[in-house]
Amino acid sequence: MVQLKISTGGRAGELQIVRHFPFAIGRAAGADLRLEEAGVWDQHLELDFDPAQGFILSTKPPALATVNGWPIEAVVLRNGDSIEIGSQKLHFWIGETRQSTLHLPENFVWALIAAVTAAQVALICWLLK
């Protein structure tokens, strides 16, 4: 699960979960993460996922952004990276994934293994008579 934590401004402390890619960040009404702080353009950033490279953050010209203090046009993000756009600061996090409960299917498989084993033992006993 990908998370963006807003660190500054009126929404400081808010956590945005990224559920789809590409993920648009900006001031526009259609942006997935809408930020209205000074210096944020309508279509400022786009976060995308490439299986070969990872999570790619790119600016939409003429917007400017920095990651960990370095100006970027496009960059592969790492866990904990700090993103600055205008007066807004965000942190990129890859959160822990949650596994759905698999108790019922797992118990069924174990019962099936036990039944097959019991059937084999019964068959061996019957053949040895």
pLDDT in tens, 22-40: 999 999 999 999 999 999 9
The residue segments making up the domain with residue 125 are 99-129
Number of domains in the chain: 2
Number of Cβ within 10 Å of residue 70's Cβ equals: 8
User: What are the tokens at 113?
Assistant: 């293994």
Kindly state the average pLDDT of the residues 2-8.
94
In this prediction, residue 10 carries a pLDDT of 86
Residues 58 and 120 in one domain: no
- 114 and 84 in a single domain? The answer is no
Q: Which is nearest to 33 in space by CA: 113, 91, 79, 111?
A: 91
Tell whether 89 and 104 lie within a shared domain. Answer: no
Same domain? 105 vs 118: yes
Phi, psi of 123 (to 5 degrees): -65, -40
Q: Is residue 56 packed enough to be buried (19+ CB in 10 Å), middle (13-18) or exposed (0-12)?
A: middle
pLDDT, mean over the chain: 93
Question: Are residues 82 and 34 part of one domain?
Answer: yes
Residues 89 and 129 in one domain: no
Tokens of 27: 């001031």
CATH number at residue 20: 2.60.200.20
Distance CA(91)–CA(1), nearest Å, equals 14
